[in-house]
Amino acid sequence: MTPELLDRDMARRARYSQGAGIMRIIPAAVARPRDIGMLRATIGDARNASLSITPRGAGTAMDGGNIGPGLVLDLSSFDSGGCDVDAIARRAIVSPSLTLAELRAAAAPHGLRLPPEPSSAAWATLGGMVSTNAAGAASLRHGSIRPWIEALTLETVDGPLHLARGESPPGTHPVVGRWAQQVVPVLEQHRDEIRRRYPAVRKNSAGYALDHWLAHRELIDVVIGSEGTLGVITRLTVRLDAQPAVRMSLRAVLDRRDHLEPAIEAIRPYDPETLEFLDESFLGVIRRTQQSVDTDAALLGAGSILLADFTGDDASEVSARMAAAAAATAPHARIDLALRPDEIERLWAVRHGASPALAALEDGRRSLQVVEDGCVPPGALQAYIEAVDAACRSAGVDVVIFGHAGDGHVHVNLLPRTGDPSWPDRIAAVYRRVSGDVIALGGTPSGEHGAGRLRAPLLGALYGEAVMQCHAAVKDAFDPIGLFNPGVIIGRADPLASLKLGPNAPAIPADADEWLADLERTADWGRCRW
Ligand SMILES: Cc1cc2nc3c(=O)[nH]c(=O)nc-3n(C[C@H](O)[C@H](O)[C@H](O)COP(=O)(O)OP(=O)(O)OC[C@H]3O[C@@H](n4cnc5c(N)ncnc54)[C@H](O)[C@@H]3O)c2cc1C
């Protein structure tokens, strides 16, 4: 008989009822397995108790993929965050509970790094990053985490499955058998539709990566970005890259928003590693909340700003590239260049202050991630930003826009006044309209955060019925009993019926409510466990 590993204490369950997003679902139980034996026993206990399983790392995902009504499986202590760096081969074998910050610290002495760097690096686990196909500012040059994963082990309903790039998956594994018999024929049948319906964007974390499977025929690509719906990742092999020796930064201050696309197009040919954007809406919040993240007078009258990093190993080559980008951008913007680390820090302070400034708003408005992750094809960014603005104006909701301009990908935080009883209707109007707009512009509702529960109901409109049938076939092959994260990626439930605040928010003990509110204010996700 297995030990009782499922904790049903309400105080602890309440702490796992939210991630970093807008939803709240109280789980029936929580568990924190520390090794593979405990993990398997816990999965067995959940099956015996007829509970679904939601794997969870640090809980920083915003799309509701890390919360669920069954068992929340806290993997933040799994395998002691193990990390084994092979400097010669430039790779690391890691536990899924390792945070990106810990991997950075282990790789840095060897002059190595993992380039896709979410700004949640201090807390985000490798398991969570791989499961959401996470990305970040440097993804402009280095892509999302997908191509950096060489191998992984997934604990499935049929036991462990090891997948490695360039190797055939083990044919005797039941998942691999079902994949060959049930999924491959469906994917072949709908091949043209998949190619047509996957958006031509630089980043996409919405749904299973069927487009990548068609391109490379690697099963590992389907698991990357699968948001805990196919099993539990228990081990990862991560490719590492040499750290660049030189970093320099450029800031372009734009007076008018219609200079945005020309400025992006002027900078991009010079191969920046990052190209980030802070819209006038964001700078307005910074000014009003008097966040002293940057006292630079140039920003006071700015419409919006672009920040670009140029990196490499040869200082004169990097500096020449940045100077050429500056000259090309000068007709559209005022330019500042930073060569020294302290100057670079000063230019970037305003970008790094984005999330803390929004989380700490104390003027009756609440920063909510409702349509926070849209990504559109290059050239459509300005149209998308204008569509977001129009939707928010029409619904009477303030908005803040910032993010990864070089990838056509911006984060949109709504700032409803939650003292006004109509705020849930207002954000629902924005959700409907902006989700339609991003798809109409040829984009995806998620560039890097995932579909989760928040965007699962949008995938039908994004991909169409045939591609959603392919999604169902994938889920059935890996998880025929629907054990892992049902309702995530494939689901129709209205996410706005499960908001974490407002009249319909599920009741939790007052101290847990306060604990979660404090977590949101301080963004201290490292303590999001018991
Ligand atoms: C302030 C802030 C900034 C952020 N910036 C970025 C950014 O720049 N780029 C970006 O991409 N994201 C960003 N995010 C979102 C988030 O940090 C990432 O999605 C991150 O990768 C999630 O990691 P996690 O450990 O918190 O995973 P969780 O939130 O716990 O889980 C995320 C998903 O992964 C699944 N999962 C977790 N571990 C496993 C496992 N071992 N096996 C199977 N499934 C698993 C869960 O079921 C869930 O669906 C940000 C979030 C915050 C709060």
CB of 233 within 6 A of ligand 1: the answer is yes
User: pLDDT at residue 366 above 80?
Assistant: yes
CA of 247 to the centre of ligand 1 (A): 27
Task: Please identify, in words, the CATH class of the domain defined by 246-351.
Answer: alpha beta
* C-alpha separations of 66 from 128, 224, 457, 491 in Å: 9, 15, 17, 15
pLDDT tens digits, one per residue of 397-440: 999 999 999 999 999 999 999 999 999 999 999 999 999 999 99
pLDDT in tens, 104-158: 999 999 999 999 999 999 999 999 999 999 999 999 999 999 999 999 999 999 9
Question: Minimal CA–CA distance to 175: which of 470, 474, 468?
Answer: 474
Distance 418 CA to ligand 1 centre (A): 26
Amino acid type, 4? E
Q: Is 528 in the pocket of ligand 1 (CB under 6 A)?
A: no
Residue 20 CA to ligand 1 centre (angstroms) = 9
To test the pocket of ligand 1, the residue of 15, 66, 146, 454 to mutate (highest count of ligand atoms within 8 Å of its CB) is 66
- What is the whole-number distance in angstroms between the Cα of residue 22 and the centre of ligand 1? 14
Q: In sequence order, what are the beta bridge partners of 304?
A: 254
pLDDT tens by residue, 114-123: 999 999 999 9
Distance, CA 263 to ligand 1 centroid (Å)? 31
What sign does the dihedral 448-452-455-458 (CA atoms) show? positive
E runs forming strands in 243-382: 246-254, 274-278, 304-312, 334-338
C-alpha 249/C-alpha 319 separation (Å) is 9
Q: Which residues make Cβ contacts (< 8 Å) with residue 401, sequence separation at least 6? A: 277, 279, 281, 282, 385, 388, 389, 410, 411, 412
ipTM over 0.85: yes
DSSP-based three-state secondary structure for 153 = strand
Query: What's the pLDDT tens digit per position in 211-264?
Result: 999 999 999 999 999 999 999 999 999 999 999 999 999 999 998 888 999 999
pLDDT over 90 at 528, yes or no: no
% pLDDT > 90, the chain: 86
Q: Is the CB of 60 under 6 A from ligand 1?
A: yes
Measure the N-to-C terminal CA separation of the chain; round to a whole number of Å.
26
Q: Give me the chain's average pLDDT, please.
A: 94
CA of 318 to the centre of ligand 1 (A): 33
Q: Does ligand 1 lie within 6 Å of residue 56's CB atom? A: yes
Taking the centre of ligand 1 as the mean of its atom positions, its distance from the CA of residue 129, in whole angstroms, is: 5
Q: What CA–CA distance (Å, rounded) separates 322 from 330?
A: 12
pLDDT of residue 204: 98
The Cα–Cα gap between 382 and 72 comes to: 40
Q: Parallel, antiparallel, or unpaired: how do β-strands 53-56 and 71-74 relate? A: parallel
- Cα 97 to Cα 127, 221, 458: the distances in Å are 6, 20, 30
Ligand 1 centroid distance, CA of 436 (Å): 25
pLDDT for 2 beyond 80: no
**Cβ of residue 272 lying under 6 Å from some atom of ligand 1:** no
Q: What span, in angstroms and rounded, lies between the C-alpha atoms of 6 and 27?
A: 11
Is the C-beta atom of 124 inside 6 A of ligand 1? yes
| C-alpha closest to that of 492 among 459, 528, 448 | 459
For ligand 1, mutation pick of 120, 155, 163, 444 (most atoms within 8 Å of CB): 120
Q: Which two tokens stand for residue 501?
A: 């605040």
Question: pLDDT value at position 293?
Answer: 53
* Residue with CA nearest ligand 1 atom 39: 127
**pLDDT per residue as tens digits for the range 304-341:** 999 999 999 999 999 999 999 999 999 999 999 999 99
At residue 7, φ and ψ (nearest 5 deg) are -95, 125
Sorted by where each begins, the domain ranges of the chain are 246-351
Q: Which residues contact 465 (CB under 8 A, 6 or more apart)?
A: none
Which helix (H) or strand (E) covers residue 233, if one does?
strand 232-239
